[in-house]
Structure 1
Amino acid sequence: MEKKAEKENKQEKEGNNLQVYEVGYHIVSDVSIENLPNEVENIKNFLVKEGASIISEELPKMRELAYSIKKTVGGAKRNFDTAYFGWIKFDVGEASIAKIKKFLDENENILRFLLIKTVRENTLFSPKIPVAVLVKEEIRAVKKDSAEKEIKSPISQEELDKTIDKLIAE
């Protein structure tokens, strides 16, 4: 609680307006799975050091890239076809963003990143079912209901004749 109050006082003195940001990043696939948590902690620690509060995050997962990305690592250009993708949502004063961007740019283990302003609310969405699938399911349900009705009420020959006579009389 005390740290939060100190942070708010510091931001008021600096005149920072808190904004919510999200950084999506690719960590090079050369980083071993054992060292991956350390890389994420380095990013998070730097954000906190700059006065950020972490709102939410997703730990990086190995992804195949849509295209090869070239990056200079250790003085040599390398092509990467896979990378660990993760993201962190945080709020921080606007004055700290330039430092955060510079840190991410200079980190050799970050292949690429995207830093955007966003909203605090959860913006994750569940995959939507295509309309064609919904229509097919609806048609199946209607067919099933009508088939059940036919099975539930067998009509005798007499009842059928009476119904036909009524229809003809109208």
Structure 2
Amino acid sequence: MKFYLFNNELDELIDFMTSEKWVYHSNPDQTKEKIMANFESGWYSKDKQTFWVENEGEKIGYISIFDLSDNTPLFDIRLKSKYRNKGFGEKCVLWLTDYVFTTLDNKIRVEAHTRMDNYPMRKVLHKCGYVKESHHRKAWENADGTIVDSVGYAIIRDDWEKGIKTPIHMDDVWF
């Protein structure tokens, strides 16, 4: 697998984003017009870095690391459906975590948020050392108007450096 920086390849981005239904994203069906508008507004470059994921010469995925001006960046990953549930998601999360902590200065943690029912991604995050830190009731609005719960995961630099998971105390008070 190779990861390389997105270099304004708009036509390839449109082909990639419109070729799949992105089930666990707020807008599962991307349109050429929406992608072009996002591109022109800086969606893929302002305060973020976007990467292609390539396997055996084929673009199989996309990673966007955003909120780079903050100490806690977040990310979005999209893999073509035929590459899901085959270990590629785990490789992507491990790569982006290493990338953030080794190349981006002063990042103390990396966060990920997903729908509660996105069990494949939640499993990947868990396997990659991320800890579930939040559960937000009715917080993820979908394009069709439905609203579902979302969950938040994070890995902190100290845990990444030591190869450990520090549990959090979700119920630390009696009330």
Give TM class, smaller chain. Answer: under 0.3
TM-score, L = length of structure 1: 0.24
- Asked which structure has the greater CA Rg, the reply is 1
Higher normalized helix content (fraction of residues)? 1
TM-score, L = length of structure 2: 0.23
Q: Which has the higher contact order (CA 8 A, sep 6+)?
A: 1
